[in-house]
Structure 1
Amino acid sequence: MERDLRGYGRARPDIVWPNGARVAVSLVVNFEEGAELAIEQGDAETERYGEVASTSPPGVRDLAQEQVFDYGLRAGLWRFLDVFTDANIRSTFMMCGRAVERVPDLARAVAEAGHEPAVHGWRWLPHALYGDAETERREIEKTRDVIARATGVTPVGFMSRGSQSIWTRDLLTQLGFAYDSNALDDDLPYWSRSPWGSMLVLPYGFDTNDMKFFHPNGFVQPEDFSNYVGAALATLAEEAERGRSSMLSIGFHLRICGRPARFRAVRAILAQLAQLEGRVWVATRADIAKHFRDVAEKKSR
């Protein structure tokens, strides 16, 4: 992949989202518990990125770290589904195939609640670790198929943990995905072109993301997260008044903001979005991709 340091520059597309707003907001929930590194799954070591770092050496099972992850599906999931239902909001759940394989009924509950399932890799690992394109292709296909069987919905979107491989985007194009979200480099969707065709890229964000509760220099109080998201929304809304279109992604994890104290941030963020009704469009990533594609096609006629 060739780096593009210019992007749209000053010639940014003029996008008005379906409700007349110029700011699209994508709420993303990660459904990955049970797909992390774990001795229980035959891995050589335990995932170390969690509430606290694993204290078990390689080869020794860490039940505490497993339970930190398990909380997300056992308790956090239901908090998210309930609050989204109350707020009448549809979000995108990034699902790891191994997690869905273990609890297909929970994945189905997500889809039945109206949320979009998307591919988040077979395991909760960077796709940059794949040594060849064919192995990566098989695991993307396997993940898509497992999610489709569990939810009744075939995923059209993709985002892996961390960095994708140099082949990922071409593979997604060949496999007919509607969008790729492994991008941190813009405030609007854009097209990535290759000999295989064009892939629509929906940027993501690591700053408006609850994983910073796990960073030593990140969020501590729930207000740290909700206030930060509020600042982002305020900036984009102000820019929209001057005709600038944008998209903002807000990332959640079942085991992080699914915890009672941090869940206050989720409620506060939803309240902020409600106050901005008409100035922002809250939608699934699939719907954002479809609208952006439709606008692009109309302008090309």
Structure 2
Amino acid sequence: MNRDLVGYGGNWPDITWPNGARLAVSLVVNFEEGAEQQVSDGDPVTERIGEVISVVPHGRPDPGQAQIFAYGTRAGAWRIAEALRRHQMPATLFVCGRAAERAGSVLAMLAQDGHEVANHGWLWRPHADFERREDETSALERAELAIHDATGQTPRGFFCRGAESPWTRALLAERGYFYTSNGFDDDLPYRDPSGLMVVPYALDTNDMKFFHPNGFVRAEDMVDYVRAALDVLQAESQRGLPRLMNIGFHLRIIGRPGRFAAFEQILEMLSERRDDLWITTRYQIAKAFAESSPCM
């Protein structure tokens, strides 16, 4: 693997987003519930990461862990959808195929509000696990069909848990995808040799850190962290530097009452600063960047 440790080298492209802002903001809502691995679903293992680390022995069903995930589509999704509507905020949904197949009505409810759907893999697992190109192709196809059946949308973007396989980007380009978000290395999109746009994602301004011991504990922790990131990026954008900010959420995490306050407060913060931001979907960010930097 050839690692690019320089990127733009401080010579940022002179990009103004379509509404005249220099800072684009992408809200991501992950739709994974039902696609996590569960022995009870015939998977070889059960997902360990939840509200607590599972103590059920490997290879045995863990109904408690399954219920923790199910909370996201049974309860959390409805809070999140209502808040996005009320604040008139567009989001990109990172959708796992098996989740779309199992909770299609919930996904349709979210998608009908105009949010973008992106392919998050068939299962909530790293695509780096695939040992054969054919198996990954089948997983992509299966997820695409499930997402389309639930929403009528064909995904133009992709993001998998963990990391891609060596051939993921070539497969995506062959299948007509426009961007991937398996990049954590910049504050701006860039073009991959495959021809795909890379719209970098972020794991720090992300509610998954509520599930990690070095992360957020109170709702205010996430709000304060997101505010600090937004302040820095907004100050840079006011100096003429184009920037992208990512904020990631999960139905089962931010949808819980004790953490939902963070979601509300972050949306309120973005609403107050809306005139200085371009809050939009990842596809629109990728498209605008590609059109502004056709030779990148």
Which TM-score bucket, shorter chain as reference? over 0.9
Residue type of the alignment partner of 1:211: M
CA contact (8 A) 1:211 1:252 kept: yes
Query: What letter corresponds to residue 60 of structure 2 in structure 1?
Result: V
In the other structure, the counterpart of 2:266 is: 269
Partner of 1:32: 32
Instruction: Say which is worse superposed, 287-296 or 149-158, in terms of deviation.
Output: 287-296
Matched, 1:20 2:17: no
Instruction: List per-residue Cα deviations over 1:76-112 (Å, max 9, x = no partner).
Output: 0001100000001110110000111112111211111
Give the partner amino acid of 2:163.
S
What's 2:8 paired with? 8
Give distance in 2, aligned partners of 1:52 and 1:122.
24
Partner SS state of residue 291, structure 2: helix
Report deviation, 1:33.
0.5
What is the distance in 2 between the residues matched to 1:169 and 1:262?
A: 35
Give the structure 2 partner of residue 73 of structure 1: 73
Which letter maps to 1:34? G
**For each residue in 1:109-156, what CA deviation from the matched residue of structure 2 results, as whole angstroms up to 9, or x when unmatched?**
111111111100000000000001121112112211210121011110
The equivalent of 2:288 in structure 1 is: 291
Distance 2:40 2:60 in 1: 10
TM-score of the superposition, structure 2-length normalised?
Answer: 0.98
Any conservation in 2 of the 1:19–1:278 contact (CA below 8 Å)? no
* Per-residue deviation, residues 250-290 of structure 1 (Å, max 9, x unmatched): 00000000000100000111111112122111101111111
Equivalent in the alignment of 2:253: 256
Whole-angstrom distance in 1 between the partners of 2:3 and 2:170: 15
TM-fit CA distance, 1:59: 2.1
Q: Which has the larger displacement, 74-83 or 273-282?
A: 273-282
Q: Which residue of 1 aligns with 2:173?
A: 173
Partner SS for 2:252: coil
Does the residue aligned with 2:215 lie in a helix, a strand or coil? coil
CA distance in 2, matches of 1:223, 1:19: 30
Aligned positions of 1:121-200 closer than 5 A: 121-194=121-194, 198-200=195-197
Per-residue CA deviations over 1:280-301 (Å, capped at 9, x if unaligned) read 111011111111122123x79x
Contact 1:20 1:278 in 2 (8 A): no
Partner of 1:228: 225
Q: Is the Cα–Cα contact under 8 Å of residues 92 and 117 in structure 1 kept in the other structure?
A: yes
Instruction: Please state how far the C-alpha of 1:44 moved relative to its aligned partner.
Output: 2.3
Name the structure 2 match of 1:42: 42
Q: Which runs of 5+ in 2 are unaligned?
A: none
Does residue 247 (structure 1) correspond to residue 247 (structure 2)? The answer is no
Q: State the distance in 2 between where 1:72 and 1:142 align.
A: 22
Which residue does the alignment assign to 1:203? Answer: 200
Q: Distance in 2 between matches of 1:170 and 1:44?
A: 28
**Aligned residue for 1:120?**
120
For the residues of structure 1 that align with 2:163 and 2:33, how far apart are their CA atoms? 19
CA distance in 1 between partners of 2:171 and 2:8 (Å): 25
Aligned partners of 2:267, 2:109: CA distance in 1, in Å? 21
CA-to-partner distance for each residue in 1:219-249, whole Å, 9 max, x for gaps?
0010100110000100011101111111011
SS in 2 for 1:252: strand
Distance 1:240 1:45 in 2: 45
- Aligned-partner SS, 1:255: helix
Structure 1: 5+ residue runs without aligned partners? none
CA drift at 1:45? 2.1
Deviations 1:19-68 (A, max 9, x none): 11101000001000001110111122210011001121122111110110
8 Å CA contact 1:45–1:57 kept in 2: the answer is no
Secondary structure of the residue that 1:70 maps to in structure 2?
helix
Amino acid at match of 1:294: E
Give the Cα–Cα distance (whole angstroms) in 2 for the partners of residues 2 and 79 of structure 1: 43
What's 2:60 paired with?
A: 60
For the residues of structure 1 that align with 2:158 and 2:272, how far apart are their CA atoms? 30
Q: Which whole-Å CA distance do the structure 2 matches of 1:266 and 1:225 have between them? A: 9
